[in-house]
A and B are shown apart, each in its own frame.
Chain A
Protein backbone atom coordinates (compact mmCIF):
# COMPACT_ATOMS: atom_id res chain seq x y z
CA UNK A 1 0.00 0.00 0.00
CA UNK A 2 1.44 3.38 -0.99
CA UNK A 3 1.70 6.37 1.33
CA UNK A 4 -1.11 8.17 -0.54
CA UNK A 5 -3.41 5.17 -0.31
CA UNK A 6 -2.72 4.83 3.40
CA UNK A 7 -3.43 8.53 4.00
CA UNK A 8 -6.62 8.29 1.95
CA UNK A 9 -7.79 5.29 3.98
CA UNK A 10 -7.04 7.07 7.26
CA UNK A 11 -8.83 10.18 6.02
CA UNK A 12 -11.93 8.21 5.15
CA UNK A 13 -11.87 6.46 8.52
CA UNK A 14 -11.56 9.81 10.30
CA UNK A 15 -14.45 11.27 8.27
CA UNK A 16 -16.56 8.26 9.23
CA UNK A 17 -15.72 8.68 12.91
CA UNK A 18 -16.60 12.38 12.80
CA UNK A 19 -19.92 11.55 11.13
CA UNK A 20 -20.59 8.88 13.77
CA UNK A 21 -19.72 11.35 16.56
CA UNK A 22 -22.12 13.90 15.13
CA UNK A 23 -24.84 11.27 14.79
CA UNK A 24 -24.30 10.22 18.42
CA UNK A 25 -24.58 13.78 19.76
CA UNK A 26 -27.70 14.52 17.72
CA UNK A 27 -29.23 11.17 18.72
CA UNK A 28 -28.68 11.85 22.43
CA UNK A 29 -30.25 15.30 22.12
CA UNK A 30 -33.26 13.77 20.35
CA UNK A 31 -33.69 11.06 22.98
CA UNK A 32 -33.57 13.55 25.85
CA UNK A 33 -36.22 15.68 24.12
CA UNK A 34 -38.55 12.72 23.52
CA UNK A 35 -38.03 11.36 27.05
CA UNK A 36 -39.11 14.74 28.46
CA UNK A 37 -42.25 14.72 26.39
CA UNK A 38 -43.15 11.07 26.97
CA UNK A 39 -41.59 9.71 30.14
CA UNK A 40 -40.92 5.99 29.67
CA UNK A 41 -41.27 3.49 32.50
CA UNK A 42 -38.06 3.79 34.47
CA UNK A 43 -38.18 1.04 37.08
CA UNK A 44 -39.64 -2.34 37.84
CA UNK A 45 -39.07 -4.42 40.93
CA UNK A 46 -38.05 -8.05 40.50
CA UNK A 47 -37.38 -10.88 42.90
CA UNK A 48 -33.63 -10.52 42.33
CA UNK A 49 -33.78 -6.71 42.78
CA UNK A 50 -34.98 -4.39 40.05
CA UNK A 51 -34.73 -3.37 36.41
CA UNK A 52 -33.95 0.27 35.69
CA UNK A 53 -34.39 1.79 32.25
CA UNK A 54 -31.92 4.38 30.96
CA UNK A 55 -32.73 6.60 28.01
CA UNK A 56 -29.16 7.84 27.50
CA UNK A 57 -27.48 5.48 26.90
CA UNK A 58 -30.36 3.23 25.98
CA UNK A 59 -30.25 0.28 28.32
CA UNK A 60 -32.17 -1.91 30.70
CA UNK A 61 -30.02 -2.32 33.79
CA UNK A 62 -30.64 -5.36 36.00
CA UNK A 63 -29.55 -4.66 39.57
CA UNK A 64 -29.54 -6.69 42.78
CA UNK A 65 -31.61 -5.80 45.85
CA UNK A 66 -28.78 -3.88 47.54
CA UNK A 67 -28.28 -1.70 44.46
CA UNK A 68 -32.03 -1.15 44.19
CA UNK A 69 -32.10 0.04 47.81
CA UNK A 70 -29.30 2.51 46.99
CA UNK A 71 -30.69 3.90 43.76
CA UNK A 72 -34.49 3.61 44.02
CA UNK A 73 -36.95 5.17 46.39
CA UNK A 74 -37.68 1.91 48.22
CA UNK A 75 -39.10 2.91 51.58
CA UNK A 76 -40.17 -0.46 52.95
CA UNK A 77 -39.00 -3.86 51.99
CA UNK A 78 -41.29 -4.98 49.11
CA UNK A 79 -43.20 -8.22 49.60
CA UNK A 80 -41.60 -9.38 46.35
CA UNK A 81 -38.27 -9.45 48.19
CA UNK A 82 -39.40 -11.82 50.91
CA UNK A 83 -37.12 -14.82 51.16
CA UNK A 84 -33.64 -15.41 49.82
CA UNK A 85 -32.37 -13.27 46.98
CA UNK A 86 -32.32 -15.35 43.79
CA UNK A 87 -29.96 -14.81 40.88
CA UNK A 88 -31.16 -13.24 37.64
CA UNK A 89 -32.60 -16.07 35.55
CA UNK A 90 -33.48 -18.31 38.52
CA UNK A 91 -37.14 -17.34 38.19
CA UNK A 92 -39.39 -16.03 35.47
CA UNK A 93 -39.46 -12.21 35.46
CA UNK A 94 -42.44 -10.44 37.06
CA UNK A 95 -43.53 -9.44 33.52
CA UNK A 96 -41.95 -9.54 30.07
CA UNK A 97 -39.43 -6.87 29.12
CA UNK A 98 -41.04 -6.52 25.73
CA UNK A 99 -44.01 -7.69 23.71
CA UNK A 100 -43.91 -8.47 20.00
CA UNK A 101 -47.19 -7.44 18.47
CA UNK A 102 -48.01 -8.75 15.02
CA UNK A 103 -50.47 -5.99 14.24
CA UNK A 104 -51.58 -7.50 10.94
CA UNK A 105 -50.82 -10.42 8.69
CA UNK A 106 -51.50 -8.27 5.65
CA UNK A 107 -48.54 -7.97 3.27
CA UNK A 108 -48.37 -8.18 -0.49
CA UNK A 109 -44.65 -8.97 -0.74
CA UNK A 110 -45.07 -12.77 -0.70
CA UNK A 111 -41.57 -13.64 0.58
CA UNK A 112 -40.89 -17.37 0.21
CA UNK A 113 -39.58 -17.67 3.77
CA UNK A 114 -42.17 -15.43 5.51
CA UNK A 115 -42.42 -16.74 9.08
CA UNK A 116 -46.02 -15.59 9.46
CA UNK A 117 -47.24 -16.74 6.05
CA UNK A 118 -48.48 -13.18 5.40
CA UNK A 119 -50.88 -12.53 2.51
CA UNK A 120 -52.58 -9.49 0.90
CA UNK A 121 -55.83 -10.43 2.68
CA UNK A 122 -54.31 -10.73 6.15
CA UNK A 123 -55.61 -13.00 8.90
CA UNK A 124 -59.27 -13.46 9.80
CA UNK A 125 -60.54 -11.42 12.77
CA UNK A 126 -57.52 -9.12 13.04
CA UNK A 127 -57.50 -6.64 15.90
CA UNK A 128 -58.00 -2.96 15.07
CA UNK A 129 -56.86 0.20 16.83
CA UNK A 130 -59.35 -0.15 19.69
CA UNK A 131 -58.24 -3.66 20.59
CA UNK A 132 -54.51 -2.96 20.26
CA UNK A 133 -54.91 0.19 22.37
CA UNK A 134 -56.50 -1.94 25.07
CA UNK A 135 -53.63 -4.39 24.75
CA UNK A 136 -51.08 -1.60 25.16
CA UNK A 137 -52.90 -0.47 28.31
CA UNK A 138 -52.65 -3.98 29.72
CA UNK A 139 -48.96 -4.24 28.84
CA UNK A 140 -48.26 -0.88 30.49
CA UNK A 141 -50.09 -1.91 33.66
CA UNK A 142 -48.14 -5.17 33.72
CA UNK A 143 -44.81 -3.34 33.58
CA UNK A 144 -43.64 -3.98 30.00
CA UNK A 145 -40.88 -1.58 28.85
CA UNK A 146 -40.94 -1.92 25.05
CA UNK A 147 -43.11 -3.21 22.24
CA UNK A 148 -41.81 -4.35 18.87
CA UNK A 149 -44.49 -3.80 16.26
CA UNK A 150 -44.51 -5.89 13.12
CA UNK A 151 -46.63 -7.88 10.71
CA UNK A 152 -47.28 -8.64 7.88
CA UNK A 153 -46.53 -5.09 6.94
CA UNK A 154 -47.78 -2.88 9.75
CA UNK A 155 -46.72 0.32 7.95
CA UNK A 156 -49.89 0.01 5.82
CA UNK A 157 -52.13 0.44 8.87
CA UNK A 158 -53.59 3.97 8.89
CA UNK A 159 -53.67 4.02 12.70
CA UNK A 160 -50.07 2.89 13.31
CA UNK A 161 -48.93 6.38 14.39
CA UNK A 162 -51.87 6.71 16.75
CA UNK A 163 -51.03 3.39 18.40
CA UNK A 164 -47.35 4.37 18.73
CA UNK A 165 -48.40 7.65 20.37
CA UNK A 166 -50.61 5.77 22.79
CA UNK A 167 -47.75 3.45 23.72
CA UNK A 168 -45.53 6.48 24.39
CA UNK A 169 -48.20 8.09 26.55
CA UNK A 170 -48.41 4.88 28.59
CA UNK A 171 -44.63 4.79 29.16
CA UNK A 172 -43.89 2.05 26.63
CA UNK A 173 -41.35 2.68 23.88
CA UNK A 174 -42.64 1.44 20.51
CA UNK A 175 -40.15 0.00 18.01
CA UNK A 176 -40.90 -1.17 14.51
CA UNK A 177 -39.86 -3.63 11.83
CA UNK A 178 -40.87 -2.93 8.25
CA UNK A 179 -40.06 -4.35 4.84
CA UNK A 180 -39.98 -0.81 3.46
CA UNK A 181 -41.97 -2.07 0.48
CA UNK A 182 -45.36 -0.60 1.34
CA UNK A 183 -46.83 2.27 3.37
CA UNK A 184 -43.56 4.20 3.24
CA UNK A 185 -44.96 7.72 2.74
CA UNK A 186 -47.04 7.45 5.89
CA UNK A 187 -44.24 5.81 7.84
CA UNK A 188 -41.77 8.60 7.05
CA UNK A 189 -44.23 11.07 8.59
CA UNK A 190 -44.53 9.15 11.87
CA UNK A 191 -40.98 7.78 12.11
CA UNK A 192 -40.09 10.05 15.06
CA UNK A 193 -42.63 8.28 17.27
CA UNK A 194 -40.61 5.07 17.33
CA UNK A 195 -37.56 4.28 19.39
CA UNK A 196 -35.84 2.25 16.68
CA UNK A 197 -36.98 1.26 13.21
CA UNK A 198 -35.33 -1.61 11.37
CA UNK A 199 -35.90 -2.43 7.73
CA UNK A 200 -35.75 -6.08 6.70
CA UNK A 201 -32.94 -6.49 4.20
CA UNK A 202 -31.91 -10.08 3.59
CA UNK A 203 -29.23 -9.42 1.02
CA UNK A 204 -27.86 -6.93 -1.48
CA UNK A 205 -28.93 -6.78 -5.12
CA UNK A 206 -29.47 -10.29 -6.53
CA UNK A 207 -29.06 -11.98 -3.14
CA UNK A 208 -32.17 -10.20 -1.89
CA UNK A 209 -34.12 -11.95 -4.64
CA UNK A 210 -32.44 -15.31 -3.94
CA UNK A 211 -33.57 -15.17 -0.31
CA UNK A 212 -36.97 -13.51 -0.66
CA UNK A 213 -38.08 -14.84 -4.02
CA UNK A 214 -38.50 -11.45 -5.73
CA UNK A 215 -36.30 -8.50 -6.63
CA UNK A 216 -37.08 -5.91 -3.97
CA UNK A 217 -33.61 -4.63 -3.09
CA UNK A 218 -33.92 -1.28 -4.85
CA UNK A 219 -37.21 -0.51 -3.09
CA UNK A 220 -35.92 -1.58 0.31
CA UNK A 221 -32.77 0.49 -0.22
CA UNK A 222 -34.86 3.53 -1.22
CA UNK A 223 -36.94 3.07 1.95
CA UNK A 224 -33.81 2.91 4.10
CA UNK A 225 -32.51 6.13 2.55
CA UNK A 226 -35.80 7.96 3.08
CA UNK A 227 -36.19 6.79 6.66
CA UNK A 228 -32.55 7.59 7.46
CA UNK A 229 -33.05 11.09 6.12
CA UNK A 230 -35.64 11.79 8.83
CA UNK A 231 -34.40 9.56 11.69
CA UNK A 232 -31.03 8.42 13.01
CA UNK A 233 -32.14 5.22 14.77
CA UNK A 234 -32.62 3.23 11.59
CA UNK A 235 -31.09 -0.21 11.26
CA UNK A 236 -31.50 -3.36 9.22
CA UNK A 237 -32.72 -6.83 10.13
CA UNK A 238 -30.97 -9.54 8.18
CA UNK A 239 -32.26 -13.10 8.16
CA UNK A 240 -29.06 -15.06 7.70
CA UNK A 241 -29.39 -17.88 5.17
CA UNK A 242 -26.96 -20.06 3.30
CA UNK A 243 -27.41 -17.71 0.32
CA UNK A 244 -26.39 -14.48 2.03
CA UNK A 245 -23.88 -15.77 4.59
CA UNK A 246 -20.90 -15.05 2.33
CA UNK A 247 -22.26 -11.55 1.81
CA UNK A 248 -22.41 -10.57 5.49
CA UNK A 249 -19.30 -8.40 5.28
CA UNK A 250 -20.78 -6.53 2.32
CA UNK A 251 -24.02 -6.04 4.26
CA UNK A 252 -22.10 -4.45 7.14
CA UNK A 253 -20.30 -2.24 4.59
CA UNK A 254 -23.70 -1.22 3.21
CA UNK A 255 -24.92 -0.36 6.74
CA UNK A 256 -21.82 1.77 7.35
CA UNK A 257 -22.25 3.56 4.03
CA UNK A 258 -25.88 4.40 4.82
CA UNK A 259 -24.90 5.45 8.38
CA UNK A 260 -27.31 2.98 9.96
CA UNK A 261 -27.35 2.55 13.71
CA UNK A 262 -27.22 -1.25 13.81
CA UNK A 263 -27.31 -4.55 11.99
CA UNK A 264 -29.49 -7.17 13.63
CA UNK A 265 -28.89 -10.73 12.48
CA UNK A 266 -31.69 -13.28 12.69
CA UNK A 267 -31.51 -17.02 12.33
CA UNK A 268 -33.87 -18.55 9.76
CA UNK A 269 -36.87 -20.14 11.52
CA UNK A 270 -39.04 -22.89 10.04
CA UNK A 271 -42.33 -21.13 10.67
CA UNK A 272 -45.17 -20.05 8.35
CA UNK A 273 -44.02 -20.31 4.71
CA UNK A 274 -40.52 -20.58 6.17
CA UNK A 275 -41.22 -24.17 7.18
CA UNK A 276 -41.40 -25.13 3.49
CA UNK A 277 -38.30 -23.12 2.58
CA UNK A 278 -36.30 -24.27 5.62
CA UNK A 279 -34.12 -26.90 3.94
CA UNK A 280 -33.23 -24.56 1.09
CA UNK A 281 -32.54 -21.45 3.17
CA UNK A 282 -31.19 -22.55 6.57
CA UNK A 283 -27.47 -22.09 7.12
CA UNK A 284 -25.14 -25.05 6.97
CA UNK A 285 -23.47 -26.38 10.10
CA UNK A 286 -20.13 -24.96 8.89
CA UNK A 287 -21.73 -21.51 8.50
CA UNK A 288 -23.20 -21.72 11.99
CA UNK A 289 -19.79 -22.56 13.41
CA UNK A 290 -18.22 -19.64 11.54
CA UNK A 291 -21.02 -17.22 12.45
CA UNK A 292 -19.52 -15.43 15.48
CA UNK A 293 -16.02 -14.74 14.12
CA UNK A 294 -17.54 -13.66 10.79
CA UNK A 295 -19.91 -11.10 12.25
CA UNK A 296 -17.45 -9.72 14.79
CA UNK A 297 -14.83 -9.24 12.06
CA UNK A 298 -17.39 -7.43 9.89
CA UNK A 299 -18.58 -5.26 12.79
CA UNK A 300 -14.98 -4.31 13.59
CA UNK A 301 -14.01 -3.64 9.98
CA UNK A 302 -16.98 -1.40 9.28
CA UNK A 303 -17.48 0.03 12.81
CA UNK A 304 -21.12 -0.99 12.92
CA UNK A 305 -23.03 -2.11 15.98
CA UNK A 306 -24.13 -5.75 15.75
CA UNK A 307 -27.03 -7.50 17.39
CA UNK A 308 -28.05 -11.13 17.16
CA UNK A 309 -31.35 -12.74 17.98
CA UNK A 310 -31.94 -15.13 20.86
CA UNK A 311 -31.82 -18.23 18.66
CA UNK A 312 -28.13 -17.62 17.91
CA UNK A 313 -26.97 -18.22 21.49
CA UNK A 314 -25.93 -21.85 20.76
CA UNK A 315 -23.73 -20.58 17.91
CA UNK A 316 -22.12 -18.06 20.28
CA UNK A 317 -21.61 -20.70 22.97
CA UNK A 318 -19.80 -22.88 20.44
CA UNK A 319 -16.83 -20.48 20.72
CA UNK A 320 -16.80 -20.75 24.52
CA UNK A 321 -17.02 -17.02 25.30
CA UNK A 322 -16.73 -15.96 28.93
CA UNK A 323 -20.04 -16.98 30.53
CA UNK A 324 -19.92 -14.08 32.97
CA UNK A 325 -19.55 -11.67 30.06
CA UNK A 326 -22.54 -13.19 28.25
CA UNK A 327 -24.59 -12.94 31.45
CA UNK A 328 -23.57 -9.30 31.94
CA UNK A 329 -24.70 -8.55 28.39
CA UNK A 330 -28.02 -10.35 29.03
CA UNK A 331 -27.27 -12.79 26.22
CA UNK A 332 -29.86 -15.53 26.65
CA UNK A 333 -31.21 -18.20 24.38
CA UNK A 334 -34.93 -18.89 24.36
CA UNK A 335 -36.63 -16.43 26.71
CA UNK A 336 -40.11 -16.83 25.20
CA UNK A 337 -42.77 -16.60 27.90
CA UNK A 338 -40.24 -14.90 30.18
CA UNK A 339 -38.33 -11.88 28.81
CA UNK A 340 -40.72 -11.60 25.87
CA UNK A 341 -44.18 -12.53 24.69
CA UNK A 342 -45.84 -12.32 21.32
CA UNK A 343 -49.33 -11.64 20.08
CA UNK A 344 -50.92 -12.80 16.82
CA UNK A 345 -53.02 -10.38 14.69
CA UNK A 346 -56.18 -11.54 16.46
CA UNK A 347 -54.63 -10.92 19.88
CA UNK A 348 -53.76 -14.55 20.71
CA UNK A 349 -50.95 -14.55 23.28
CA UNK A 350 -47.83 -16.58 22.44
CA UNK A 351 -44.47 -17.23 24.10
CA UNK A 352 -42.73 -15.79 21.02
CA UNK A 353 -43.81 -14.70 17.54
CA UNK A 354 -42.88 -18.01 15.93
CA UNK A 355 -44.67 -20.16 18.47
CA UNK A 356 -48.23 -21.42 18.31
CA UNK A 357 -50.55 -20.15 21.06
CA UNK A 358 -49.86 -22.03 24.31
CA UNK A 359 -52.10 -24.83 25.58
CA UNK A 360 -55.40 -23.53 26.97
CA UNK A 361 -55.78 -23.09 30.70
CA UNK A 362 -59.30 -23.63 32.04
CA UNK A 363 -60.44 -24.27 28.47
CA UNK A 364 -59.44 -20.81 27.19
CA UNK A 365 -56.57 -19.72 25.01
CA UNK A 366 -55.26 -16.48 26.48
CA UNK A 367 -55.23 -13.16 24.65
CA UNK A 368 -52.69 -10.40 25.07
CA UNK A 369 -55.10 -8.37 27.22
CA UNK A 370 -55.14 -11.25 29.72
CA UNK A 371 -51.35 -11.25 30.07
CA UNK A 372 -51.21 -10.37 33.78
CA UNK A 373 -53.70 -13.06 34.70
CA UNK A 374 -52.08 -15.73 32.50
CA UNK A 375 -48.47 -14.84 33.41
CA UNK A 376 -48.67 -16.28 36.90
CA UNK A 377 -50.89 -19.27 36.07
CA UNK A 378 -49.33 -22.65 36.81
CA UNK A 379 -48.23 -24.26 33.56
CA UNK A 380 -48.32 -21.00 31.62
CA UNK A 381 -46.44 -21.14 28.30
CA UNK A 382 -45.93 -24.90 28.64
CA UNK A 383 -42.48 -26.17 27.63
CA UNK A 384 -41.13 -22.65 27.14
CA UNK A 385 -40.82 -22.37 30.89
CA UNK A 386 -39.63 -25.88 31.62
CA UNK A 387 -36.24 -25.53 29.90
CA UNK A 388 -34.49 -26.56 33.13
CA UNK A 389 -35.76 -30.10 32.62
CA UNK A 390 -33.35 -30.52 29.74
CA UNK A 391 -31.93 -33.76 28.43
CA UNK A 392 -28.37 -34.35 27.25
CA UNK A 393 -26.29 -32.75 25.93
CA UNK A 394 -28.02 -29.59 27.23
CA UNK A 395 -28.38 -30.90 30.80
CA UNK A 396 -24.61 -31.00 31.34
CA UNK A 397 -23.73 -28.03 29.11
CA UNK A 398 -22.03 -25.21 31.00
CA UNK A 399 -23.95 -22.66 28.89
CA UNK A 400 -27.39 -24.16 29.45
CA UNK A 401 -28.48 -21.59 32.07
CA UNK A 402 -27.90 -18.91 29.42
CA UNK A 403 -28.82 -20.76 26.23
CA UNK A 404 -31.87 -22.54 27.68
CA UNK A 405 -31.73 -25.28 25.06
CA UNK A 406 -31.66 -23.08 21.96
CA UNK A 407 -34.53 -22.28 19.63
CA UNK A 408 -37.68 -24.25 20.40
CA UNK A 409 -39.23 -23.39 17.05
CA UNK A 410 -36.37 -25.13 15.22
CA UNK A 411 -36.53 -28.07 17.68
CA UNK A 412 -40.26 -28.49 17.13
CA UNK A 413 -39.97 -28.41 13.35
CA UNK A 414 -37.03 -30.81 13.10
CA UNK A 415 -37.74 -33.24 15.94
CA UNK A 416 -41.45 -32.69 16.64
CA UNK A 417 -40.58 -32.01 20.28
CA UNK A 418 -40.59 -28.46 21.63
CA UNK A 419 -38.41 -29.50 24.58
CA UNK A 420 -35.72 -31.23 22.49
CA UNK A 421 -32.21 -29.73 22.31
CA UNK A 422 -31.76 -27.35 19.38
CA UNK A 423 -30.75 -29.70 16.52
CA UNK A 424 -28.65 -26.98 14.83
CA UNK A 425 -26.53 -26.31 17.93
CA UNK A 426 -22.91 -27.34 17.14
CA UNK A 427 -22.60 -28.95 20.57
CA UNK A 428 -25.75 -31.00 20.02
CA UNK A 429 -24.45 -32.08 16.60
CA UNK A 430 -21.07 -33.05 18.07
CA UNK A 431 -22.78 -34.99 20.84
CA UNK A 432 -24.93 -37.08 18.49
CA UNK A 433 -23.70 -40.65 18.17
CA UNK A 434 -21.56 -41.12 15.10
CA UNK A 435 -22.67 -43.79 12.67
CA UNK A 436 -19.71 -46.13 12.38
CA UNK A 437 -19.61 -47.81 9.00
CA UNK A 438 -17.98 -51.19 9.29
CA UNK A 439 -16.29 -52.56 6.21
CA UNK A 440 -18.27 -55.22 4.47
CA UNK A 441 -16.37 -58.47 4.76
Chain B
Protein backbone atom coordinates (compact mmCIF):
# COMPACT_ATOMS: atom_id res chain seq x y z
CA UNK B 1 0.00 0.00 0.00
CA UNK B 2 1.30 3.48 -0.85
CA UNK B 3 2.32 5.51 2.17
CA UNK B 4 0.36 8.70 2.80
CA UNK B 5 2.35 11.86 2.21
CA UNK B 6 2.92 13.91 5.33
CA UNK B 7 1.19 17.19 6.05
CA UNK B 8 2.01 20.44 7.77
CA UNK B 9 -0.77 21.08 10.28
CA UNK B 10 0.08 24.60 11.38
CA UNK B 11 2.84 27.17 11.34
CA UNK B 12 3.31 29.56 14.22
CA UNK B 13 5.30 32.46 12.79
CA UNK B 14 7.83 34.54 14.71
CA UNK B 15 8.56 34.62 18.39
CA UNK B 16 6.65 35.90 21.32
CA UNK B 17 8.52 38.42 23.46
CA UNK B 18 5.40 39.29 25.37
CA UNK B 19 5.74 37.77 28.80
CA UNK B 20 2.05 38.03 29.64
CA UNK B 21 0.24 36.18 26.87
CA UNK B 22 0.76 34.22 23.68
CA UNK B 23 1.03 36.39 20.58
CA UNK B 24 0.28 35.10 17.11
CA UNK B 25 1.06 36.68 13.79
CA UNK B 26 -2.18 37.52 11.98
CA UNK B 27 -0.62 39.41 9.08
CA UNK B 28 -1.61 36.46 6.87
CA UNK B 29 -5.27 37.32 7.44
CA UNK B 30 -4.59 40.30 5.17
CA UNK B 31 -3.72 38.13 2.23
CA UNK B 32 -5.87 35.12 3.06
CA UNK B 33 -5.62 31.40 2.60
CA UNK B 34 -4.18 31.62 -0.93
CA UNK B 35 -0.93 33.21 0.22
CA UNK B 36 -0.57 30.71 3.05
CA UNK B 37 -1.28 27.88 0.61
CA UNK B 38 1.70 29.12 -1.41
CA UNK B 39 4.04 29.49 1.57
CA UNK B 40 3.27 26.17 3.29
CA UNK B 41 4.68 23.97 0.46
CA UNK B 42 7.88 26.04 0.50
CA UNK B 43 8.30 25.39 4.21
CA UNK B 44 7.48 21.72 3.59
CA UNK B 45 10.12 21.49 0.88
CA UNK B 46 12.65 23.22 3.13
CA UNK B 47 12.10 20.59 5.82
CA UNK B 48 12.02 17.60 3.46
CA UNK B 49 15.05 18.47 1.38
CA UNK B 50 17.53 18.93 4.16
CA UNK B 51 19.23 16.20 6.16
CA UNK B 52 16.70 14.55 8.51
CA UNK B 53 16.78 16.31 11.85
CA UNK B 54 17.58 14.25 14.95
CA UNK B 55 14.74 13.65 17.37
CA UNK B 56 15.61 15.52 20.55
CA UNK B 57 14.61 13.75 23.73
CA UNK B 58 12.05 15.06 26.19
CA UNK B 59 10.39 13.36 29.18
CA UNK B 60 7.44 12.57 26.88
CA UNK B 61 9.68 10.63 24.47
CA UNK B 62 11.49 8.61 27.10
CA UNK B 63 9.68 5.53 25.87
CA UNK B 64 10.99 6.09 22.36
CA UNK B 65 12.91 3.13 20.96
CA UNK B 66 16.02 4.28 19.06
Closest chain B residue to A171, Cβ basis: B56
With known contacts A67-B6, A71-B47, A79-B65, A45–B58 Cβ distance under 8 A:
yes
Tell yes or no: A438 within 8 A of B by CB: no
Residues of chain A contacted by B16 (CB below 8 angstroms): 98, 146, 148, 175, 196, 264, 307
Chain A 313-334 interface 0/1 with B at a Cβ cutoff of 8 Å (1 = within):
0001000011011011111100
CB-CB contacts of A128-145 with B at 8 A, as 1s and 0s?
Answer: 000000000000011100
The total of chain A residues at the interface (CB under 8 A) is 100
Given contact pairs A44-B58, A64-B7, A78-B61, A59 touches B22 in the complex (Cβ within 8 A): no
B58 and A94 form a contact (CB under 8 A): yes
Is B13 touching A146 in the complex (CB atoms < 8 A)? no
Whether B14 lies near A262 (C-beta < 8 A) is yes
Most buried by A among B3, B17, B29, B36: B17
Q: Tell whether A241 is near chain B: CB-to-CB under 8 Å.
A: no
Q: How far is the CA of A168 from the CA of B49 in the complex (A)?
A: 27
- The residue on A at minimum CB distance from B66 is A75
Which of chain A's residues have a CB closer than 8 A to the CB of B9?
48-49, 62-64, 87-88, 327-328
| Distance of B43 from chain A, by nearest CB (Å) | 6
Say if the beta carbon of A195 comes within 8 Å of chain B: yes
**Shortest Cβ gap from B30 to chain A (Å):** 5
Which residue in A42, A88, A266 is a CB contact (below 8 Å) of B21? Answer: A266
In the assembled complex, which residues on chain B have CB atoms less than 8 Å from the CB atom of A348?
none
Q: How far is the CA of A168 from the CA of B25 in the complex (A)?
A: 23
User: Quick check: is B8 within 8 A (CB to CB) of the other chain?
Assistant: yes
Q: Measured between alpha carbons, how far is A182 from B33 in the docked complex, in Å?
A: 42
Residue among B10, B19, B44, B48 making CB contact with A329, cutoff 8 Å:
B10
**A206 contacts partner chain B, Cβ-Cβ < 8 Å:** no
Are B15 and A330 in contact (CB-based, < 8 A)? no
- Please give me the residue from chain A that is nearest to B22 by CB atom: A310
- A198 contacts B18, CB within 8 Å? yes
- In Å, the complex CA distance between A258 and B33 comes to 30
- Given the known inter-chain contacts A63-B7, A68-B6, A325-B36, please indicate yes or no for A76 contacting B21, CB distance below 8 A: no
A39 to B44 CA separation, bound complex (whole angstroms): 21
Chain A positions within 8 Å of B27 at CB level:
299, 305-306
**A-B contacts, CB under 8 A, total:** 265
Min CB distance, A64 to chain B, in Å?
5
Residues of B within 8 A of A64 (CB): 6-9
A95 pairs with B58, CB closer than 8 A: yes
B11 near A330: Cβ-Cβ < 8 Å: yes
Most B-side CB within 10 Å, residue of A68, A266, A307, A322: A307
Does A370 reach chain B (CB closer than 8 Å)? no
B29 to nearest A CB, angstroms? 6
Q: Which of B24, B52, B56 contacts A310 (CB 8 A)?
A: B24
A235 touches B65 (CB 8 A): no
Quote the shortest CB–CB distance from A346 to chain B (angstroms). Answer: 16
**Do the beta carbons of A197 and B55 come within 8 Å of each other?**
no
Q: Are A305 and B25 in contact (CB-based, < 8 A)?
A: yes
Closest chain-B Cβ to A275's Cβ sits at a distance in Å of 14
Tell me the bound Cα distance from A310 to B60 in angstroms: 26
Enumerate chain B residues within 8 angstroms of A194, measured Cβ to Cβ. 17
Binary B-proximity of A186-204 (CB < 8 A = 1, otherwise 0):
0000000011111000000
Q: Verify A78–B65 contact, CB threshold 8 A.
A: yes
Which residue of chain B has the shortest Cβ distance to A147 in the bound complex? Answer: B19
Q: Which residues of chain A are within 8 angstroms of B36 by Cβ–Cβ distance?
A: 325, 328-329
User: Is B46 interfacial (CB-CB < 8 Å)?
Assistant: yes
Question: Shortest Cβ distance from B27 into chain A, in angstroms?
Answer: 5
Question: A259 near B: Cβ within 8 Å?
Answer: no
| Known A321-B29, A339-B22, A340-B22: A74·B14 in contact at CB below 8 Å | no
A residues apposed to B, CB below 8 Å: 41-46, 48-50, 52, 54, 57-80, 87-88, 94-95, 97-98, 100-102, 115, 141-143, 146, 148-151, 171, 173, 175-177, 194-198, 235, 237, 262, 264, 266, 269, 292, 295-296, 299-300, 305-311, 316, 321-322, 324-325, 327-332, 335, 339-340, 342, 352-354, 372
Leading 8 A-B pairs by shortest Cβ distance = A67-B6, A150-B19, A79-B63, A94-B60, A143-B58, A66-B6, A175-B17, A330-B12
10 contacts between A and B (CB under 8 A): A61-B8, A78-B61, A78-B65, A143-B56, A143-B58, A197-B17, A308-B26, A321-B29, A325-B33, A325-B36
